[in-house]
Amino acid sequence: MIEREVLQVCQVLDYRGILSVEISVPEGEKLAEKTFNPRLGIVGGISILGTSGVVEPMSTQAILDTIRVELRQQRALGREDVVISPGNY
């Protein structure tokens, strides 16, 4: 998504050089403390996932870790029942 937008701006400006893109969130570390990140083990700043917020696990262990994180989040939200369907994995 970010790459697409940067490329579009380069095209509009007819720029063909090299770019370096830095994504910065002022007060990101402070903002992150107010999110679920610390409970997920994400510390030192805020996580930036994009518009969907979907992380695609790349291994069986990553899928299991993702499910554990989701279950912890649901418990923290007070949910008692959760249905898990791994889909086409």
- Give the model confidence (pLDDT) of 40-51 as tens digits: 777 788 877 766
Amino acid code (one letter) for 82: V
What is the tens place of the pLDDT at every residue in 60-81?
787 788 888 889 989 999 998 9
Residue 8 lies in a domain: no
Residue 64 lies in a domain: yes
Helix ranges (H only) for the chain are 2-12, 28-32, 37-40, 60-76
Please tell me the total count of domains within the chain: 1
6-10 CB contacts, 8 Å cutoff, 24+ apart = none
Residue 39 lies in a domain: yes
Residue 1 lies in a domain: no
Residue 36 lies in a domain: yes
Query: What domain range includes position 62?
Result: 25-77
As a whole-number percent, the residues of the chain with pLDDT over 70 amount to 85
Model-wide pTM > 0.85 = no
